[in-house]
Every structure is written in structure tokens, then in C-alpha cells.
Amino acid sequence: MKNSKLSRQHAIDKDQKDQLKRFKQEFHIKEGTLYMDGNSLGLLSKRAEKTLLTSLEDWKEHGIEGWTEGEQPWYYMSEKLGEMTAPLIGAKKEEVINTGSITTNLHQLLATFFNPDDKRNKILADTLNFPSDIYALKSQLRLHGLDPEIHLIQVTSEDGRTLNEEEIIEQMNEETALLLLPSVLYRSGQLLDMKKITEAAHAQGIIVGFDLAHSIGALPHELHDWGVDFAVWCTYKYLNSGPGGVGGLYVHEKHLGQAPGLAGWFSSRKDKQFDMDHTLTPSETAGAYQIGTPHILSSAPLLGSLEIFQEAGIDNIRKKSLDQTAFMMQLIEQELDGYDFEIANPRQAERRGGHVSLEHKEAARICKALKEKQVIPDFRAPNVIRLAPIALYVSYEDIYEMVMRLKEIMDKETYKKFENIRGIIA
């Protein structure tokens, strides 16, 4: 197929052979719309809708007794979600908890694991990470009386798109206390070699953390076996938990049993929590890193969503995702040659996340034209169109049709009627 012209029939044939195609009917998809933004906000599944309604019914039926007597008891929901999430990241169930948001969880884990002294007092990060992670790192440094200009080391990118693992490793030294990196870069979709980075950091006594926002639900991980110290993520992208869906965190079992840096009521051991003792007895699981009361109505949809992942299997999802992004890139090169598009994500499967990063100087206005054609992309400044063919609900024919609509936009130059500036939400 690589040597022949791809056609709609090629896409149809792929869809007929797709072992995951049945899951598309599980999602609410607006007729005629091609949704390519699941790496920013995933679509609502019928199961997520059902489990949310179940928690509402538990509230209506049981009131406060819903914490323990509902069909989905709220008191244990975070732990249940952690257990369901653990296989997606290669963790033990006691190492995972769903709680808070990605940034509050990051603050929690930085407060716990960043303990600078006169020798080790620097944090190693990068210049391509999502801004909120860098905001958190700078905040934590200031709380320790340290200057981010001196104590935050950010590895630069040679091409403005990707990071070189060897350069990251070269920046590690005896002054580095902690390292935080994204697993997949949010603009270019580059997948970092987490195992290699972790091993190199641990060899120098450095605590290792990863932000899994753009990898969890798109590809498998082996966090426990790799020895990663901690990780955080959101669940509203590939995991389809809904806008503002509850976040999650992982802490390796070697760190469990210690008090969290930021203690709160739900940091308690479950059987001690309602003793109301002013001395915290922290949970012996990742539950210790919770702070406040779980956000039940932002957690409940994830119960249904994770059922789908259990049935589909993360390895199967990754296999299809890689094939879909490869198919999309082939189509882009075939149909959009001469329109000044450039594929910015890595081509190698082992270095690619779940989306295609397409660069164009007119990216913002092209995204607006795509939306007019009922294609939902994602714009990232300054010039990136992110396109995510989500394995659970995007078909190969959807990908083909998306590229055809984009080609029509470029042929007819309909994008020129829009301003080349982003909207409020890109």
C-alpha cells in the first residue's frame, strides 16, 4: 500500500479489518463532524454518561449515605479508579489514586519529593513543556527561597520541536535534586524514552517525575518496572472523563508510607479518617497524596470510560493509534504536497505519541476553516495544527475525509477569509 496511491477504499478496507471498530458506537459523535481533538478533550461515551447519572441517582436516593451505600460508593471511588487506571501505566493498584487536578497533584508531589539542601537544590526540566508545569516548578522553588533563574535548569531544543534524551542526561549532575519532564510533548507529539531517562537520573541520585497528560490512554507505560518515582496526569484527553475531569497521580511503592508534603483530610488512612484526630495517620497507599474531598461528579464518568479501556486493551489501542497516525501522515504527504505543510512530529513509531503535528504559517486561520467544514482540530501557537485520530472513535474513513476537506480548503483558499489569530480557546 505504501507504494500505491491511498484512496477512500483503502480506508474502508482498514475499517472493515479494525478489531476496535465496535467501540465507535459507544461514543456520542455529532453527525457529519470529524472530531480530531481528543488529545485536548475526549468525547463523551455512553458508559461515562451512565456512571455519572448513577452517581447523581445515588445522591438523589441516598443523600449522605451515598458515601458508603450507593451503587458507586463515593468514599472508595478514588481508590477504585486508581485500581482501574493502574494497568494503563504499568503500576500496582496501591501506587495510583485519582484525585485533584494535574497541577495541584504536581504541587503535592513536588512538595513531597523536592527537598533541596546546600548541595542538591536544582530542578531539571525543559523548554517545550506545557506552561503550567513550569509555573508549578517555579512556585515550588520560590517557596524554598530559591531563585528560578538559577535553580530551574531547562533543557533546550535544537529544532524547536523535539528534545534529545542524551542532552537531557548531559544536564544531570550532583546539584540536580529532581527532574520533571513530559512523557509526550504537547506540540510535536514526541514520545520520550522514559526508561532511559529514569535509569540515567537514578544513577545520579535524582528523583524522577513525568507528566503523562499526552500519553495516558494513548500508549502503554511500565512506570513501576522503570522505577519512575512519581507521575501526574489529567483524564479529560485520551481517557474521556469530561471537561475538568478528576486528575490522577502515581507514586512508586518504595515511597509509600511516608507523610505527604501537603497533608489534608483525605490523606488519612481510611479507617482512621473519621476519628478526627489532629495528628494525621497517612494512608499507606498513593491515597496519602490526596488532599481534599473527592470531586465525585467529576470522577464518576471515568468509571464508565475506564471500562472501555479494560475491554479494548491499551496495547490494541496503541497498535491502532500508530497505524492511524501513519495513515494520516501518508495521506497528508500524498494530497497536500505543495501547500507548505510540514509534519513536525517524529516519524518513528517508538518516538511518536497519539497525534499528528502539522505546521503551517497560516495555521490559526486554517483551523477556523476546518471548523467551518465540521472538522474539529486543535491549534497551538505559533503555527501548529494538532490532529488526533483517537483509536476508540475515529475511523480510517474519518481520517481520509478529514484530509479531503483540508485539501478543499487549501484548493479554494477559503481559509483566507479568517484572521490568522487564535480564538479564546485555541
Report the SS3 class of residue 261: coil
My answer on whether 253 and 347 are in the same domain is no
Q: What would the grid cell of residue 301 be? A: 464518568
My answer on whether 118 and 261 are in the same domain is yes
Tell me how far apart the alpha carbons of residues 78 and 65 are, in angstroms, rounded to a whole number: 17
My answer on whether 26 and 140 are in the same domain is no
Q: Is residue 260 part of a domain?
A: yes
My answer on whether 173 and 263 are in the same domain is yes
Q: Is residue 172 part of a domain?
A: yes
Is 176 within any annotated ligand binding site?
A: no
Tell me how far apart the alpha carbons of residues 198 and 202 are, in angstroms, rounded to a whole number: 6
Is 102 within any annotated ligand binding site?
A: yes
Residue-level pLDDT at 273? 86
| Nearest residue to 18 (alpha-carbon basis) of 426, 369, 399 | 399
My answer on whether 243 and 206 are in the same domain is yes
Q: Is residue 194 part of a domain?
A: yes
My answer on whether 270 and 123 are in the same domain is yes
Is 214 within any annotated ligand binding site?
A: yes
Q: Is residue 272 part of a domain?
A: yes
Distant-in-sequence, close-in-space partners of 388: CB < 8 Å, separation ≥ 6: 36, 37, 38, 39, 40, 354, 355, 356, 378, 394
Where does a domain end: 252, 285, 311? 311
Is 130 within any annotated ligand binding site?
A: yes
Q: Is residue 330 part of a domain?
A: yes
Residue-level pLDDT at 1? 42
pTM of the predicted model over 0.85: yes
Whether the Cβ atoms of residue 240 and residue 45 lie closer than 8 Å to each other: yes
* Total domains present in the chain: 2
Where does a domain end: 268, 294, 311? 311
Q: What angle do CA 190, 101, 183 make, to 5 degrees?
A: 15
> Among all chains, which residue has been given the C-alpha cell 513536525?
344
My answer on whether 244 and 370 are in the same domain is no
Q: Is residue 426 part of a domain?
A: no
Is 131 within any annotated ligand binding site?
A: yes
My answer on whether 356 and 279 are in the same domain is no
> In a structure prediction context, what are the per-residue pLDDT tens digits for the chain, which is 426 residues long?
445 799 999 999 999 999 999 999 999 999 999 999 999 999 999 999 999 999 999 999 999 999 999 999 999 999 999 999 999 999 999 999 999 999 999 999 999 999 999 999 999 999 999 999 999 999 999 999 999 999 999 999 999 999 999 999 999 999 999 999 999 999 999 999 999 999 999 999 999 999 999 999 999 999 999 999 999 999 999 999 999 999 999 999 999 999 999 999 899 998 998 888 999 999 999 999 999 999 999 999 999 999 999 999 999 999 999 999 999 999 999 999 999 999 999 999 999 999 999 999 999 999 999 999 999 999 999 999 999 999 999 999 999 999 999 999 999 999 999 998 888 776
Residue-level pLDDT at 3? 58
Is 236 within any annotated ligand binding site?
A: yes
Where does a domain end: 311, 343, 375? 311
Is 103 within any annotated ligand binding site?
A: yes
My answer on whether 190 and 83 are in the same domain is yes
Whether the Cβ atoms of residue 117 and residue 144 lie closer than 8 Å to each other: no
Is 314 within any annotated ligand binding site?
A: no
Tell me how far apart the alpha carbons of residues 397 and 389 are, in angstroms, rounded to a whole number: 11
Q: What is the CATH number of the domain that holds 321?
A: 3.90.1150.10
My answer on whether 70 and 149 are in the same domain is yes
- Domain span at residue 413 reads 8-31+313-417
My answer on whether 258 and 320 are in the same domain is no
Is 396 within any annotated ligand binding site?
A: no
Mode of pairing for the β-strands spanning 375-376 and 384-387 = unpaired
Alpha-carbon Rg of the chain, whole angstroms?
22
Q: What is the CATH number of the domain that holds 140?
A: 3.40.640.10
Q: Is residue 39 part of a domain?
A: no
Q: Is residue 423 part of a domain?
A: no
My answer on whether 291 and 327 are in the same domain is no
